[in-house]
Amino acid sequence: MTKLIKSGAYAQDVYVPVTDDAALPDGAVLVSLARFQKERDSLLERNTPIGVKLQSGENPELLGADVSRLSLVALEFPKFRDGRAFSWARILRTRLGFTGEIRAVGDFLYDQVNYQHRVGFDAWEVPDHFTLPMFNRALTEMTDVYQPSADGKKTIRELRAAK
C-alpha cells in the first residue's frame, strides 16, 4: 500500500489512475503521456482535474502549452538511481511555469526527498512505513544550501551577503 504526502501533510489522492485502454471514470484522472496526447481534446473538455504521469525518459516539454491546463504532473522514478526527474521537475517549475502538483512516484529513497523538494516536487507517493515525521526530518537534515533551485530557498551566498 502507498499513501500520499502533499504540501507537508497526509493527503487524499483524488486522482484515479487510468490505464491506456480503460474507460475514463468521472472525476480527476491520471493518464499517461501517450493517452493524453491521443485524447487531448476530449480530456481537456471534461472540465475535471487532469494529471499526466511521465516516464523518466519523457521530457515535460512534450506537453507543450497544455501543461498550464494540467493540475498534476507525476514523475516516475523507475529506479532510485535514475535522476532525470530532478531535471524534469526543475524545468516544469522554472521554464514551463507549472504551478500545479508535481508528484514523485516509483522507486525513490528517503534520502532523496529533500533534493526532490528543492527542485520542485510538492507531493510524494510513499510506502506505508514512510511517516510524516520521517518526511519532515528528511527536509530538515541539512539547514542551508549552496545553490539556487526551484524552491527559492536563500543560498549560503545570499545569507553571507545579508550578514
Partner 1 sequence: MSEVAPNMYRYDEFDARFVAERTAQFKLQVERRLKGELTEDQFKPLRLMNGLYLQLHAYMLRVAVPYGTISSKQMRMLAHIARKYDKGYGHFTTRQNIQYNWPKLVDVPDILSDLASVEMHAIQTSGNCIRNVTADHFAGASADEIEDPRPLAEIIRQWSSLHPEFVFLPRKFKIAVSGAPQDRAALKYHDMAVEIVKNDAGRTGYKVLVGGGMGRTPYIAQVLGEFVEKEDILAFLEAAMRVYNEQGRRDNIYKARIKILTNALGIEEMRRQVQREFAEIKQGGNLQLPQDELDRITAYFAPPNFDTGLPDAIPDAGKDFANWVKTNVHAHRAPGYAIATITLKTPGQVPGDATSAQMETIAELMDTYSVGEVRVTHEQNLVLPHVRKKDLPAIYARLKELDFASANAGLITDIIACPGLDYCDLANARSIPIAQRIALKFADLDRQHEIGELKIKISGCINACGHHHAGHIGILGVDKKGVEFYQLQLGGSGAEDASIGEIMGPGFTEHEIADAVERVVNVYIKTRQPGERFLDTYRRLGMAPFKDAAYEKEAA
Binding site for partner 1 (CB under 8 A): 59, 80-84, 86-88, 90, 94-95, 109, 111-112, 114-116, 118-119, 141-149, 155-157, 159-161
- The nearest distance, CB 101 to partner 1, in angstroms, is 19
Nearer to partner 1 among residue 29 and residue 60 (C-beta): 60
Q: What share of the chain is helix, strand, coil (3-state, %, to 5)?
A: 35, 25, 40
In angstroms, give the least distance from the CB of 56 to partner 1.
8
* Residue among 23 and 65 whose Cβ is closer to partner 1: 65
Shortest Å distance, C-beta 84 to partner 1: 6
CB nearer to partner 1: pick between 24 and 91: 91
Q: How far apart are CA 117 and CA 149, in angstroms?
A: 10
Distances (CA, A) of 50 to 21, 33, 72, 103, 153: 17, 11, 7, 13, 29
CA-wise closest residue to 26 among 35, 36, 34, 15 = 15
Smallest separation, CB 143 to partner 1 (Å): 6
Query: What are the backbone dihedrals phi and psi of residue 146, each rounded to the nearest 5 degrees, phi first?
Result: -95, -20
Give least dist CB 48 to partner 1, A: 31
In the bound state with partner 1, the residue whose beta carbon lies nearer, of 14 and 96, is 96
Give me the count of residues in the chain: 163
Q: Which is nearer to partner 1, 128 or 146 (CB)?
A: 146
* Residue 125 in grid coordinates: 507517493
